[in-house]
């Protein structure tokens, strides 16, 4: 989200810089009150990787010829080399991404989970509710939804007011409660006793915090992904004002709308499309950047200024988890660490190589972490 209150007057957009912002280094004195879990593994040597790919392709081709010789062979299918004796019915789900797979973005395998001894039927809930960030919409979760559903989970993506396909004008949103209403309406209508896992990205972190205060009994866990994780009495603008500066890419990318006239506060924030890649998608596939460039909408301004009222009794009763994105140019890793230090969650994960939009840049690794978190047991 960035420093949204740095300047309330209209301004011209600076030319796109010829270089990307460097990623700040992680402080060495970070809090030890939580456990960091890395999502990547050591890369295999090139020779071993090539061997695995050749064997996987050969096995897939043989299976195809044996089971369905009349269909054309799909040469774009990506499949990891299966263990000997594995059955075709137990094949791992394939990625919804057509880009070449990175070893830091692996297919989910059961033995890779920290909570591998927890059976799916034993978890508190298998229902994820996905909440987008400012300017985004439910559309940004399309890969995450597909991967979760392939794994037997339920996924619901919410369009907040004035976002995605929601027809309301973002300039007319005057409060956080109005902006978050599609989410609170959904939670209110859940069947008695049913719980969900809330997932918030970017400004969606403040939105799920608002919902956690209202419906703590309907939320099993809350996962913040490169998100605003605020403390009581803070608003999103306060949290991000510390990163303001002449070289702040977010500040360069944003312009304000004044639907009520220039003598009144801004009503919405617009983002310069030419800077979207460097700001949000610097590690994401080009097709997803194209999708975002035609799908993103203005961000309502009033909710960003609204301070959250969070209590230990309600908001504090929900277990929180944070997923860091180290290649993030919108919410730098230093700012993510600052939020974590001020309000430590139960556990922190780091998604290696992820930009601000890991649902695009690291969909498989993100899916792995979401499932892993869903299987973390409640402390006895």
- pLDDT, one tens digit per residue, over 101-111 is 443 444 434 33
Catalytic residue among 159, 288, 337, 356: 356
What topology does CATH give the domain 127-375?
A: Rossmann fold (3.40.50)
The whole-angstrom separation of Cα 177 and Cα 14 is 34
- Does the active-site annotation cover 328? yes
pLDDT value of position 120:
58
Q: What is the Cα Rg of the chain in Å?
A: 21
Catalytic residue among 159, 278, 288, 328: 328
pLDDT value of position 276:
95
In DSSP notation, 15-70 reads PPPSSPPPPPPPPTT---SS-EEE---PPPPHHHHHHHHHHHHHHHHHHHHHH-TT
**How far are the Cα atoms of 267, 268, 306 from residue 7, in angstroms, in the given order?**
13, 13, 17
111-132 pLDDT per residue, tens: 344 445 556 566 889 999 999 9
Cβ 335 vs Cβ 241: under 8 Å: no
pLDDT value of position 243:
66
Domain segments of the chain: what residues?
127-375
Question: Which tokens hold the place of 317?
Answer: 């009763």
The whole-angstrom separation of Cα 52 and Cα 45 is 11
The whole-angstrom separation of Cα 202 and Cα 219 is 19
**φ/ψ of residue 131, rounded to 5:** -120, 120
Low-confidence residues of the chain: pLDDT under 70: 1-122, 242-247, 380
Question: Which tokens hold the place of 367?
Answer: 């899916």
- Does the active-site annotation cover 278? no
Walk across the sheet containing 254-257 and list its strands.
Answer: 254-257, 268-271, 299-300
- Does the active-site annotation cover 264? no
Catalytic residue among 105, 132, 201, 202: 202
pLDDT value of position 129:
98
pLDDT value of position 103:
38
């Amino acid at each position: 989200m960035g420093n949204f209150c740095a300047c309330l007057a209209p301004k011209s957009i600076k030319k796109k810089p010829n270089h990307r912002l460097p990623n700040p280094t992680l402080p060495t004195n970070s809090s030890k009150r939580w456990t960091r879990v890395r999502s990547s593994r050591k890369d295999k040597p090139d020779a071993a990787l090539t061997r695995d790919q050749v064997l996987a392709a050969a096995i897939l081709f043989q299976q195809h010829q044996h089971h369905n010789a009349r269909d054309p062979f799909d040469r774009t299918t990506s499949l990891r080399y299966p263990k000997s004796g594995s059955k075709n019915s137990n094949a791992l789900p394939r990625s919804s991404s057509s880009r070449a797979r990175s070893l830091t973005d692996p297919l989910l395998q059961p033995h890779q989970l920290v909570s591998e001894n927890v059976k799916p039927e034993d978890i508190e809930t298998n229902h994820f509710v996905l909440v987008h960030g400012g300017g985004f919409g439910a559309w940004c979760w399309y890969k995450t939804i597909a991967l979760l559903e392939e794994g037997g989970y339920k996924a619901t993506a919410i369009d907040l007011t004035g976002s995605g396909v929601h027809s309301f004008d973002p300039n007319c949103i005057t409060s956080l409660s109005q902006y978050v209403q599609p989410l609170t309406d959904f939670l209110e209508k859940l069947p008695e006793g049913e719980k969900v896992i809330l997932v918030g990205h970017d400004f969606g972190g403040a939105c799920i915090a608002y919902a956690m205060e209202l419906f703590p009994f309907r939320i099993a866990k809350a996962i913040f992904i490169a998100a605003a994780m605020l403390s009581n009495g803070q608003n999103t603008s306060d949290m991000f004002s510390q990163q303001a500066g002449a070289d702040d890419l977010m500040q360069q990318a944003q312009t304000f709308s004044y639907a009520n006239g220039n003598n009144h506060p801004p009503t919405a924030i617009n983002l310069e499309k030419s800077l979207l890649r460097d700001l949000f998608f610097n590690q994401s596939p080009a097709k997803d950047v194209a999708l975002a460039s035609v799908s993103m909408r203005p961000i309502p301004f009033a909710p960003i200024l609204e301070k959250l009222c969070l209590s230990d009794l309600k908001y504090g009763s929900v277990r929180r988890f944070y997923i860091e994105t180290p290649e993030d140019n919108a919410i730098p890793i230093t700012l993510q660490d600052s939020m974590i230090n001020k309000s430590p969650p139960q556990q922190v994960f780091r998604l290696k190589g992820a930009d601000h939009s890991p649902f695009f840049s690291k969909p498989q690794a993100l899916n792995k972490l979401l499932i892993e978190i869903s299987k973390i047991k409640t402390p006895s």
